[in-house]
Amino acid sequence: MRAVNFGIDLGTTNSLIAKYDNNKVQVYKNPIGQKETLASVVAYRSERILVGDKAREYLAKDAMNVFGGFKRKMGTDEKYYVVNLDENVTPAELSTLILRELKKFVPPTENVEAAVITIPASFDSMQSNATLKAGLDAGFKEVFLLLEPIAASLAFFNASSTVEKPNGYWLVYDLGGGTFDVALIKSTDEGLKIADHEGNNFLGGVDFDFAIIDKIIIPEIIRQTGIENFEEEFRVKYGKYEMLYYQVMYYAEEAKKELSQAPATVIEFGAILNNTNYDFHITITRENIDKIFTPIVNETIKLLHKVVANNGLTVSDINQIILVGGSTFLPQVREQLTVQTGIPLNYSVDPTTSIAAGAAFYAGNKYFEPDAPAVTSIEEKIVDDLLATVDFSPADVQVDVNYTNSSRDKEEVLLITSNGELDNKYYRISRSDGGFDTGFITLKSKKTEFLPLIPGINNLFVLSVYDGDSNEITSLKKEIAIQQGMYNIDGQPLPHDICFEVDDVENKTTKLEVIFARNSLLPQKRTLYREISKTVKKGSQDTIVINILEGDKNSRPSSNLTIGCIQIEGKDLQSDLIKGSDIEIQIQLTDSRVLRTVVFLVMTQQEFKNVFSVSEKQVNIERLKEQFIQLENELIATVRQFQFNANTVWEIQAIALLEELQSVKFNLLKLKEKDKSDEKYVIAERVTRISQEYDKLGGNERIAALIEEYLYAKDTLLQVINMADFEKEELMKMYHKIEQAETAFIHSKNVSAIDNKLRQLSDLHWKALSNNIGFLITRFIEYKGYNTDGFKDYTAAKPIIKMADSALEKEAYPEFRRHVFSISSLVKTSRANNYTDFKGTGIG
């Protein structure tokens, strides 16, 4: 025996599927569009069958082929004639399609063999049996039925075990999109029972939207336009105001939602009526809609009182009203229920999913005999997995697809060719993001489909083939990937990354940001938005430098080739350029590798256009000097590190590079920006070459050592974060951020990139330590031991030390931490800073 576990709310307007697992219920989402609800509508389009929200769009327009609300007709002899099929379908057959679609919400690794399906309290035996048949036809081996109010009650009774639920009477008030039901539930020690129920099949959420249109929007349009027969014309099917009708429907629903949270809202729309352009601004207050909603709510309350009175009860006999259905979110519904009945309301369980959740709770305790022989739980799982993946259908069909895997167009054509036994077979294509789904289409020997593409990404589609019972023939599944934004002929790919240099002000250095990644096909165009990182006075010598480089995005800027350099000097400015103001940089690289840039300074409203030929070298002397110093310092630090590790071979190589670099230092420092000689190009080339050789120094062995160092530092950091007494969550977030980028920079095998990450780990390590009380106390004791020379301002530090002492004594650690931070800022630091006059690029 196996637990059923799956519960289905087969609703008049919407349907849902949920699963019980280990005392919890999971409501599944539609893989197409990620919604929990599926519209209970089926559309027989010319060649395809659509089920759900998409089908609902055609409900009003193609009534001969699109069907909704068929639940009300279950078990009757009513049949719907489908023009496109030239045959009749029954409500049970339509329900079967809904149930099959719901099964697709469940991941393929889970096998949905049996289910509990809910039915309204008003359903007779014929209607119940029709639902049962629909379930069996949908492929369930066993189906159990459960009354909707009982399902809602089960969800409520099982949800909050801490709240007392005395025996007695409860009301389930179910106000959905288009229907209303109220059920009187009696709870006893033996269980739950429906004592009575009432309902209205044509009363629901949509009536509130119509009330806003009828009572507020239409009168306002008439008042402003004076069109006499507007109301009459507005409602005419295919009439002249039809476009406005749909707009207004949307705005009315939005206003209803907004007024659930705000005291007032404004509906704004424009329309051309009788050749005159009108702009409507209609303010709607909560007070307005209270008045117009009350009659609708009163209808439901009348039925509620009726069901209570018919059973010889009064409202005081009812424990609580359990709210079910999306429309019970409306404040007017809740207010009127409270005012007019005085019964406490309960909405602890999500009203939109409670019936499905209750069905799943019930399913957790219902058992069925699966077809497969009884096996142990682990083997059972394996069998389930196999059932989901093994294809039992005869391999008498072959399907092939042809398409181009890269495109610059908005859509691409897919050719599907099929052979073999194609009768009663369907295919369906969906895009992985949920924005495209063909529905079921009859399989033919040759078919074409146009696949819409999202720009700039790899669009993934899945083509699935189904038999007549909607069972997927998994061996025929095809995955289709089309990269949009690339030419379908061989374009010129970029051999290296194209980056631009931005300031890393914190570390007083610069870093690279990728503009176009390696292997992108030309042409490419992109606009970057950044901030100015230093103030440049009008007329001053200060400069903003936009350096565009070609090379490896993970390396230091000096290892790359500068292909474009734009300098904007103080004298070029119409007014001062303040730090923090915006700069827009539009960069375009043509097929023939011509670089065009348009720089726009938002503050001064100035635009600078440049065109560079990549064959020309671009050098900014100030920037070159800073790059030189940065590289020199790194080399000095590395030589020391090699010395410390007694790595003589690498040490000798590093010293040789350092000496070669320093041999041009004198010439570089005396260079002026206006220098016309080739000297700057000679030096720039040497700096680039040494920087690249420095990256290669030690080869894979050095990279392996750095990766090992990185992994060790990461482990240590994690331990330190776990011991942090403050901001642990924040620290963990920063840790994960570094970790997330790990694969990329480790695979880059770039010394500079790994080194950079090591520095980030080290910074975070210190940050984590400064959030540890033990460490802070040690630091504080150390500071207390300093004499006056140890501080920048001892007079300022003295009272803070006293306050820190007092906080420590009181164990007021957050306060103590603040004081230690203040003291540390007053301590003289021995850390040498070689970049006190760091100028950078001026772009942050």
Residues recorded for the chain: 844
- Whole-number minimum distance, CB 38 to other proteins, in Å? 12
CB nearer to other proteins: give 250 or 766.
250
On whether the CB atoms of residues 530 and 547 are closer than 8 A, the answer is no
CB nearer to other proteins: give 245 or 835.
245
On whether the CB atoms of residues 174 and 182 are closer than 8 A, the answer is yes
Q: Residue 56: how many CB atoms within 10 A of its CB? A: 19
Report residue 450 as tokens: 């146009």
CB nearer to other proteins: give 21 or 513.
513
CB nearer to other proteins: give 450 or 712.
450
Report residue 632 as tokens: 């020199």
CB nearer to other proteins: give 384 or 584.
584
- Whole-number minimum distance, CB 443 to other proteins, in Å? 16
How far apart (Å, rounded) are the C-alpha atoms in residues 578 and 357?
58
206 DSSP assignment: H
Annotate 15-59 with three-state secondary structure.
EEEEEEECCEEEECCCCCCCCCCEECEEEECCCEEEECHHHHHCC
CB nearer to other proteins: give 460 or 796.
460
CB nearer to other proteins: give 600 or 813.
600
Tokens 């007083």 correspond to what residue?
Answer: 508
CB nearer to other proteins: give 60 or 374.
60
- Whole-number minimum distance, CB 516 to other proteins, in Å? 16
188 DSSP assignment: E
On whether the CB atoms of residues 470 and 809 are closer than 8 A, the answer is no
Pairing of strands 191-200, 168-175: unpaired
CB nearer to other proteins: give 242 or 693.
242
- Whole-number minimum distance, CB 99 to other proteins, in Å? 20
Report residue 110 as tokens: 């889970």
How far apart (Å, rounded) are the C-alpha atoms in residues 464 and 477?
5
- Whole-number minimum distance, CB 222 to other proteins, in Å? 22
- Whole-number minimum distance, CB 128 to other proteins, in Å? 33
CB nearer to other proteins: give 32 or 151.
32
- Farthest-apart Cα atoms in the chain, separation: 106
329: left (phi over 0), alpha (psi -120 to 50) or beta: alpha
- Whole-number minimum distance, CB 429 to other proteins, in Å? 8
| CA-to-CA dists, residue 655 to 18, 72, 278, 694, 704, angstroms | 68, 87, 79, 10, 21
- Whole-number minimum distance, CB 172 to other proteins, in Å? 30
- Whole-number minimum distance, CB 256 to other proteins, in Å? 15
How far apart (Å, rounded) are the C-alpha atoms in residues 70 and 79?
10
- Whole-number minimum distance, CB 458 to other proteins, in Å? 9
- Whole-number minimum distance, CB 434 to other proteins, in Å? 4
How far apart (Å, rounded) are the C-alpha atoms in residues 163 and 161?
6
On whether the CB atoms of residues 335 and 323 are closer than 8 A, the answer is no
On whether the CB atoms of residues 399 and 417 are closer than 8 A, the answer is yes
Q: Which among 705, 698, 700, 692 is positioned nearest to 648, based on CA atoms?
A: 698
CB nearer to other proteins: give 283 or 527.
527
Pairing of strands 411-420, 397-402: antiparallel
H helix or E strand, kind and range, residue 141: none
CB nearer to other proteins: give 99 or 441.
441
On whether the CB atoms of residues 131 and 74 are closer than 8 A, the answer is yes
Binding site for other proteins (CB under 8 A): 32-34, 43, 45-46, 48, 50, 53-54, 57-58, 60-62, 238, 242-243, 246-247, 249-250, 268, 270, 410, 429-430, 432-439, 452, 454-457, 527, 529, 582, 584, 600
- Whole-number minimum distance, CB 450 to other proteins, in Å? 8
